Amino acid sequence: MTQRRERDSEEEEEEEERDITGNMRSLTTPLQSKHWHPTAQNNLKKSESNNLYSYPLQFNVNNSNNPLSRKVKPISCFASENTNQPILKESKPPLVVVGSANADIYVEIDRLPKEGETISAKTGQTLAGGKGANQAVCGGKLSYPTFFIGQVGEDAHGKLITEALENGGVYLDHLTTVSNAPTGHAVVMLQSDGQNSIIIVGGANMSCWPENLADEDLEIVRNAGIVLLQREIPDFVNIQVAKAARKAHVPVILDAGGVDSPIPLELLRFVEILSPNETELARITKMPTESFNQISKAVEKCYEMGVNEVLVKLGSNGSALFTKGEEPLQQPIIKAAKVVDTTGAGDTFTSAFAVALVEGKSKKECLRFAAAAASLCVQVKGAIPSMPEKKAVFNLLQSV
């Protein structure tokens, strides 16, 4: 009798997983029917945020094994004078970005140094960045309600990033300050042609995460319109988020940028769209990606790994969206008047695509909208400072 009950339980779990997978494969745009009830006040507190959502909590949090000190940074960013702050509406389940926040230390150079060589930089400055923070600010500046789940340290870099996020109109109820690690940072070597090379120091992005994410963090994920992930935070965090989103029928886009270790298959099976550039696609699949035909074959490998849609960023060759069983959609770049800095262009593209998708635009329209946003991004130095306003994107689209 006990064995029969165990078999019945296993069959029910398998049937549930098949139902979830089937629903996600048929999903072309995020669900708009979620009952998401924001309060009238924008300045939300952690203790208040549980009243926002109608879905019951499904995860039990046990942080007793985590001795690290964690606290929510006090937030005063939601003042009415912040013109970039998005207006929340029930019809707009939010964009939720879970990922990294870095202080980008820029050095402008004519060329990269050779081995053993010391060269002088023209200038140097520190700006807010990190793939997660970049994508969150992009969503906020595109006037879409955007939440950021991430970590910064108790240092000047953490303050710099927090101010950049709040000025970009991002809701910071789920940003955590940790006392046991410094804010992540990156050294960006910017060459005169706008190309860059980057070295990342993970800091708080890669450490001090609790073994189990807080219920309130997973709750905002379950009630999102779409979730964006990258690979500059630990895989186990991404897996928890993606799994919670999948169970709630919320699509997940995984930007493949970040650490170069293999992507866990457990993560990929919960991802709706994988978004690499051609270099990342080659690394993931161990296949060449020097031509469109080679890229198409590499995408087939991604299908075998469990992903049904692959959004490939192709630099100067534009982008392409591959959907299993369909012809790929190609989008050429929208040429920029002048390329100043390509840092953050891929993050802008991915986030703008997500915003257009959650707003119900067709996939072809999403690609074009994202191309326009990326074109504006590369014309300004810095990652977060270069994120375009929605009006500017629309104006560019009308002019081309």
CATH value at residue 212: 3.40.1190.20
List binding-site positions for substrate.
Answer: 102-104, 130-134, 232, 347
Supply the range of the domain harboring residue 394.
Answer: 95-101+129-183+203-399
pLDDT at residue 384 greater than cutoff 90: no
- Domain annotation covers residue 284: yes
List binding-site positions for ATP.
Answer: 277, 313-318, 346-347
In the structure, what pLDDT confidence band is assigned to residue 98 with cuts at 50, 70 and 90? very high
- Domain annotation covers residue 123: no
% of the chain with per-residue pLDDT over 70: 77
pLDDT of residue 194: 77
pLDDT of residue 385: 87
Average per-residue pLDDT in the chain?
Answer: 82
- Domain annotation covers residue 151: yes
In the structure, what pLDDT confidence band is assigned to residue 193 with cuts at 50, 70 and 90? confident
- Domain annotation covers residue 53: no
In the structure, what pLDDT confidence band is assigned to residue 88 with cuts at 50, 70 and 90? very low
How far is Cα 174 from Cα 133, in angstroms, rounded to an integer?
Answer: 13
Q: For residue range 142-157, what is the model confidence (pLDDT) as tens digits? A: 999 999 999 999 999 9
Q: For residue range 205-217, what is the model confidence (pLDDT) as tens digits? A: 999 999 999 999 9
- Domain annotation covers residue 298: yes
- Domain annotation covers residue 378: yes
Q: For residue range 23-76, what is the model confidence (pLDDT) as tens digits? A: 444 344 333 333 333 333 333 333 333 333 333 333 333 333 333 444 444 333
pLDDT of residue 14: 55
- Domain annotation covers residue 358: yes
Active-site residues, by number, are: 347
pLDDT at residue 6 greater than cutoff 90: no
Q: What is the average per-residue pLDDT within 353-379?
A: 97
% of the chain with per-residue pLDDT over 90: 68
* Phi and psi at residue 160, to the nearest 5°: -60, -45
pLDDT: which is higher, 288 or 87:
288
Q: How many CB atoms lie within 10 A of CB 387?
A: 28
List binding-site positions for K(+).
Answer: 341, 343, 377, 380, 382, 386
- Domain annotation covers residue 3: no
Q: What is the average per-residue pLDDT within 259-286?
A: 95
Q: How many domains does the chain have?
A: 1
* Phi and psi at residue 265, to the nearest 5°: -60, -30
